[in-house]
Amino acid sequence: MHGPPLVGWLLVALCAAIGAYCLFRMRAGAAGERRAAGGDALMGLGMAAMAVPAAALDTRTWGHVAFALVFGAVGLRALVLGRGGRAGMHHLHHAVGAFAMVYMALAMAGSPGVGHAGHTAGDGIREPAGNPLVTGLLLVYFAVYVVRTAAGMVPVTAVAAQDAPWPGPRPGRVGGPELTDACRLSMGIGMLAMLLTM
pLDDT tens sequence for the chain (198 residues): 666 788 889 999 999 999 999 999 888 777 778 888 888 899 999 999 888 887 776 666 777 888 899 999 989 988 887 776 666 677 888 899 999 999 998 988 776 544 444 444 444 455 667 889 999 999 999 999 999 988 888 765 444 555 544 444 444 444 567 788 888 999 999 999 999 887
**pTM for the predicted model, two decimal places:** 0.76
* C-beta separation of 92 from 79 below 8 A: yes
* C-beta separation of 53 from 8 below 8 A: yes
Bridge partners for 126 per DSSP: 120
State the Cα torsion 105-42-22-51 to the nearest 10°. Answer: -20
CA–CA separation, 78 and 39 (whole Å)? 9
pLDDT of residue 126: 55
